[in-house]
Amino acid sequence: MLKTLHGRERLQLFFGLAIGIIFGFLLQKGGATRYDVIIGQLLLTDFTVVKIMLSAVVVGKIGVYFFRGLGMAQLHPKPGSVGSTVIGGLIFGVGFGILGYCPGTMVGAVGQGSLDALLGGIVGMLIGAGIFSEIYPKLERSILNKGYFGEITLPQLLKKNHWAVIIPFAIAIMALLFWFQKSGL
């Protein structure tokens, strides 16, 4: 039943839009579309963004792995390599720190009226994505595949059953969140 649903292209575009609307709503309500909140996270004075991300990860991973166990969902882990993930991740981080929004929260910020996100962030990111498409063939030949490790997941890496990873990991994240609350972060 789900498979036929996944094949219905127009309906899928509508699902994408609907999921996006809820995502944007939740990001805005959580405070993550505000520059002050995001930059506070990067200056380590406001832990809102990490709290949102970690709560999403705990709930998300339990459900997604549960539905996968029932054969109702498939994983789509992204492939990785040192050359792409680490170097790209650090470049992203520098941009993130300069701009004070990430791509999703930047779009949400535009929705709440932030003009720096619209005319600075969005325009800049489109230029950046264009530059990347230009340099991609060169990077692909040189850096991107250095230290390639593929689409592996932590349970595969540790050679453990996924629940043996998910449960302790979820407990550790909840302990960390509890500690944030206790220490007033």
Residues 142-161 that bind another protein (CB under 8 A): 144, 149, 151-155, 157
Task: Out of 4, 69, 71, 122, point to the residue binding another protein (CB under 8 A).
Answer: 122
176 binds another protein (CB under 8 A): no
175 binds another protein (CB under 8 A): no
79 binds another protein (CB under 8 A): yes
In terms of Cα–Cα distance, which of 66, 68, 47, 70 is closest to 58?
66
171 binds another protein (CB under 8 A): no
Task: State in angstroms the smallest separation of the CB of 110 from another protein.
Answer: 6
Task: State in angstroms the smallest separation of the CB of 69 from another protein.
Answer: 13
The DSSP output letter for 151 is S
Contact 138, 128 (CB under 8 A): no
Burial class (CB in 10 A: 0-12, 13-18, 19+), 104: middle
Task: State in angstroms the smallest separation of the CB of 25 from another protein.
Answer: 4
Query: What is the Cα–Cα distance from 183 to 185, expressed in whole angstroms?
Result: 6
Annotate each residue in 51-70 with x if it binds another protein (CB under 8 A) or - if it does not, as one string.
xxxxxxxxxxx-xx--x---
Q: List the beta bridge partners of residue 150.
A: 80
10 binds another protein (CB under 8 A): no
Q: How many CB atoms lie within 10 A of CB 25?
A: 12
Residues numbered 89 to 118 that lie near another protein (CB under 8 A) are 89-100, 102-117
Query: What is the Cα–Cα distance from 123 to 130, expressed in whole angstroms?
Result: 11
Task: State in angstroms the smallest separation of the CB of 151 from another protein.
Answer: 7
For residue 28, give both structure tokens: 């805005």
1 binds another protein (CB under 8 A): no
76 binds another protein (CB under 8 A): yes
29 binds another protein (CB under 8 A): yes
How many residues sit close enough to another protein to count as binding (CB under 8 A)? 125
CA distances from 57 to 62, 63, 152, 170 (A): 8, 10, 18, 8
167 binds another protein (CB under 8 A): no
